[in-house]
């Protein structure tokens, strides 16, 4: 038979997860009601408006390592110090050293930086020019010509 403290811990965790599911189901229902009201109001002002053309806005989770926009700024500074080109791993190491994080935070910095680099590339600020042993190689777009 299982240990009673193990079972009671699992029961407590299940109760917590069940409560979260219930909470978010109510929140979803409330938001769907809000959206229906917004749709009706849009149709009031423009009955021909195609609501299917409205794309959902992406929700980003804030980073616990960086302030808003800080990783982007540090990435640009690191690239400029590196002559306008560098790999994801090299940039992550520079940012990690600049912020003075503990050694175990390097993986989290790398992960967050990867998303920042991809967004910068999609906006045309950076160009992906290859790959090496420490990740994708990035170059500032104005230097890529």
As a whole number, mean pLDDT of residues 5-24 equals: 95
The domains of the chain are located at 4-53, 70-143
The answer on pLDDT for 24 being more than 90 is: yes
| Residue 142 vs residues 23, 63, 85, 124: alpha-carbon distances, Å | 48, 28, 11, 9
Q: Residue 2 has what pLDDT? A: 62
- Of the two residues 26 and 1, the one the predictor is more confident about is 26
Q: Residue 81 has what pLDDT? A: 92
The answer on pLDDT for 65 being more than 80 is: yes
Q: Residue 33 has what pLDDT? A: 98
| Residue of 140, 137, 100, 106 whose CA lies nearest to 120 | 140
What's the pLDDT tens digit per position in 73-106?
999 999 999 998 999 999 999 999 888 888 888 8
Q: What are phi and psi of 139, to 5 degrees?
A: -135, 140
Q: Residue 104 has what pLDDT? A: 85
Encoded tokens for 44? 């009031």
The answer on pLDDT for 48 being more than 80 is: yes
- Of the two residues 142 and 13, the one the predictor is more confident about is 13
Per-residue pLDDT band for 8 (boundaries 50, 70, 90) equals very high
Q: Residue 107 has what pLDDT? A: 87
> May I ask the CATH architecture of the domain 70-143?
Orthogonal Bundle (1.10)
d(CA 106, CA 97): 9
């Amino acid at each position: 038979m299982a240990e009673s403290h193990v079972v009671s811990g699992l029961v407590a965790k299940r109760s917590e997860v069940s409560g979260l599911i219930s909470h978010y189901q109510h929140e979803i229902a409330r938001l769907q009601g809000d959206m229906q009201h917004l749709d009706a109001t849009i149709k009031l002002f423009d009955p021909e408006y195609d609501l299917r053309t409205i794309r959902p806005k992406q929700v980003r989770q804030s980073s616990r390592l960086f302030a808003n926009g800080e990783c982007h700024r540090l990435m640009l500074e690191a690239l400029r110090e590196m002559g306008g080109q560098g790999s994801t791993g090299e940039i992550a190491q520079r940012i990690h050293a600049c912020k003075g994080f503990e050694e175990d935070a390097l993986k989290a910095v790398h992960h967050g930086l990867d998303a920042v680099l991809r967004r910068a590339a999609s906006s045309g600020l950076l160009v992906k020019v290859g790959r090496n042993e420490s990740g994708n190689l990035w170059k500032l777009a104005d230097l890529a010509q």
